[in-house]
Amino acid sequence: MSESAFLAACRGQEASHTPVWIMRQAGRYLPEYRKLREGNDFLTFTRTPDLAAEVTLQPIRRFELDAAILFSDIMTPVEGMGVELEFEGGPVIRNPIRDAESVARLRIPDPRESVPFVLETIRSVRAELTGSIPLIGFAGAPFTLLCYLVEGHGTRTFSAARAFLYSEPDAARLLMTKLADTMAAYLEAQAEAGAQALMLFDSWVGLLAESEFETLAAPAVARVFDRLRDLPVPLIYFPHQGGHLLERVKTLDPDVIGIDWRTPLPEARRKLGPDCTLQGNLDPAALFAPRAQLSERIDAVLGDAGGKRPGRHIFNLGHGIDKATDPDSVAFMVDAVHERTAR
C-alpha cells in the first residue's frame, strides 16, 4: 500500500495534499445510509459486521476522502462492562452508575469476547480498502463515557454526572480507571484487527473546568494513551469544546488533536506548540451556506492552518456532520480542499 496523505499528516510528514475526512461521515446525511438503515435498529446495525462495514465504506465510495472511520458508537464497548445499554434516539442506560458498589461491579472485558463484531467489521473494511485509504478506529474517552453511564442518557448539562464527581470522588476515579482500561484494551484490539489510526472522542470534556480536567479526565486519557503509545499507529484526541483545556491537552502528547469550530486554529497552534497535527475545524453549519460563502470558509480554515507547516493539518469539520447536510456540499468541500492544497 502506498503511504496515505492522512497517515503522513498524522506523523507530520510532507503529503501530496492536505488530507480531509469528516466526523460522522458514515451517517444519516447520506441517502444510501438511510436506505440501508430502513427496518434495522441502530444496535443491530453496529453489531452486524456486513452492515457496519458497508456503512463505513459508503462515504469512501461517494467522496474522495483520505480516511475511512469505523462505523460504530462510543457506547458499544461498555455493554461488556455490565451496563444495560439501549438506544432511543441516543444511548439510554437502564441501570445508571450512581454509587461505589455499582462501579465496583463493572468488569473490564476482553474485547475479543465482548465486541468480536467490531473486530470483524474492521477486518472486513480493511479487506475492501485495498488502496491508500486508511481506516481509523475509535473509542469514547473515559470522561465522556462516565457522563452517559452516570446520567443514564444524553442531556445538555450532565448535571447528575457532574454532581457525582463531587459527591463520590473515589468512585468517580475508580470508574474513570475502569473505563480507561476497557477503552485501552478495546483500541489495542482494533489496531490488531487492522485499524491504522486510533481516535479518542471526548465529546463532553468541555463541561469540565481545567481543575477537574487536570485531576480526573486527563489522567484517564493518559492511561489509555500510555498503553497504546508503542503501537505503530498514530493517536488522535478530540477534546470537543475544550479550547480552555488545550495547554493541558498538549501534555497528553497525542499525534493529532481535533479542534472544534469555536477555537481558532492559530490559537490552538499557539497553545499546543509545533509538534502535533491539528485536525479541523470548519463549522458544520457552514455546509448550509451558498457555495461562494462555503468556499470562503474553507479558505479561511486552510489559511488558519497554514503558515509554515501546512503538513501539520488534517482538514475536518469542527464537530460531527449534521444529518440535514446536502451531500453535494460535502463533495464540493472535499474537492476544494484537495485542489487548493495540491503540492
Tell me how many degrees the CA angle 28-243-184 measures, rounded to the nearest 5. 65
Q: Give catalytic status of residue 148 as yes or no.
A: yes
Residue with cell 475509535: 138
- Interface positions with its own copies (CB under 8 A): 154-157, 159-160, 162-167, 169, 206-210, 212, 241, 243-244, 261-264, 283-290, 293, 319, 322, 324
Q: Least Å distance between CB 342 and its own copies?
A: 27
Residue 164, strand partner residues: none
Round to whole Å and give the CA distance between 256 and 291. 29
Largest CA distance in the chain: 57
Catalytic residue chosen out of the listed positions 24, 98, 269, 312: 24
Cell numbers at 128, concatenated? 475492501
Residue 94: enclosing H or E segment and its boundaries?
none
Q: Three cell numbers at 135?
A: 481506516
| Beta carbons within 10 angstroms of residue 61's beta carbon | 10
> SS3 of 17, please?
coil
Residue (of 91, 199, 108) closest to 150 by Cα position: 91
| Shortest Cβ 331–its own copies spacing (Å) | 18
CA–CA gap between residue 197 and residue 3 (Å, rounded): 13
Nearest distance, CB of residue 316 and its own copies, angstroms: 15
309 is catalytic: no
Smallest distance, its own copies to C-beta of residue 181, A: 25
Phi, psi of 139 (to 5 degrees): -150, 165
Among residues 11, 28, 173, 227, which one is catalytic?
A: 28
| In the complex, minimum distance from the CB of residue 291 to its own copies, in angstroms, rounded to a whole number | 12
Active site residue 223: no
**Which residues does the annotation mark as catalytic?**
24, 28, 37, 73, 148
